[in-house]
Amino acid sequence: MRLLIVEDDRMIGESLQRALRLEGYAVDWVRDAAAADGTLASERFDLVLLDLGLPSGAGAGGRVADGLDVLRAARARHDATPVIVLTARDARGDRVAGLDAGADDYLVKPFELDELNARIRAVVRRHAGRAEPLLSASGVTLDPAARRVTRNGIAVALSAREFAVLEALMAKPGAVLSRTQLEDRLYGWGEEIESNAISVYIHQLRRKLGSEFIRNARGVGYFVEP
């Protein structure tokens, strides 16, 4: 899963990026409103963590002045990417304004990393139209919170990247994801992508979960049977 952090504070941004990468997410980070606006307009993310108090950034020309403007601009483009607002503004009016501007959730700084992770999972789950926290298909069950996968009730050990590929495929069983789409969800900017990495992960997953579990749509991509 690919996340975008919009945060002007260097320390928070760095730590958050590192912590979320440890969770297995591909994490990108921008530091001002103009960059956030440009990035969201041109790239696809599974979720955005948005700070509200942002410097406007070079060349913004006053069009997007802070985080709320970034959010409003995205929603005005019919961009439905889930957004969790992370901010030090805790007044009720701010929370209401944030949610009404199109945020899916609101977390006040300083927050617990565990809570942030849970909220990320919840928002992604709701966004995918699911109520149950577990993903399952053809006897394989994936628990995003516990980061655990079982096959017919028996636990299967997966690496973080393997888990991320499987989670992407199982989020919408039957939907075909191309190699590039999978790479996008695995790697942030600046992370080196080995040319055959996805093939390797798919191979490992098939070895652990059965060769028929992940199907191949030739020339298009991979999917799991619903």
Partner 1 sequence: MTSIRVRLLVSLLALLALAAAVMGAVTYGNVLDETEALFDYQLQQMALSLRDQGEIAAEQADNFADAQLDFVVQIWTVDGRSIYQSRPHASLPARALLGLATLNVEGRAWRTYSVATGDRVIQIAQPVEIRQRLAARAAWRSVLPLLLMAPLAAIGIWWLAARNLAPLDRLAGEVRSRDEQSLAPLAVSGLPDEVSPLARALNALLERLRHSLDTQRAFVADAAHELRSPLTALKLQLELLRRAGNDAEREVARNAIGAGIDRATRLVEQLLALARSERGAAPVVMEKVDLAEVARRAVAETVPFATSRGVEFELAAPAPVFVTGDAVSLGLLVRNLADNATRYSPPGSRVEVGVAGAPGGALLRIDDAGPGIPETERQRVFDRFYRRAEGGESGSGLGMAIVRSVAAMHAATVALDRSPAGGLRVDVHFAPDRSLTSA
Residue closer to partner 1, measured from CB, 19 or 197: 19
Positions in 4-23 near partner 1 (CB under 8 A): 8-12, 14-16, 18-19, 22
What token pair was written down for 85?
């607002």
Minimum gap (Å) between residue 106 Cβ and partner 1: 14
Tokens 């989020």 belong to residue = 171
Distance, CA of 208 to CA of 154 (rounded, Å): 11
Please confirm whether the linkage preceding 110 is cis (ω < 30° from 0).
yes
Contact code string over 29-48 relative to partner 1, x by CB under 8 A: --xx----------------
Distance, CA of 142 to CA of 129 (rounded, Å): 16
**For partner 1, which residue of 42, 61, 93, 110 counts as binding (CB under 8 A)?**
110
Q: Could you give the dihedral angle defined by the CA atoms of residues 121, 127, 131 and 134, in that order, rounded to the nearest 10 degrees?
A: -40
**Contact call for residue 55 and partner 1 (CB under 8 A):** yes
**Contact call for residue 58 and partner 1 (CB under 8 A):** yes
The binding site for partner 1 (CB under 8 A) comprises 8-12, 14-16, 18-19, 22, 31-32, 55-58, 88-89, 109-113
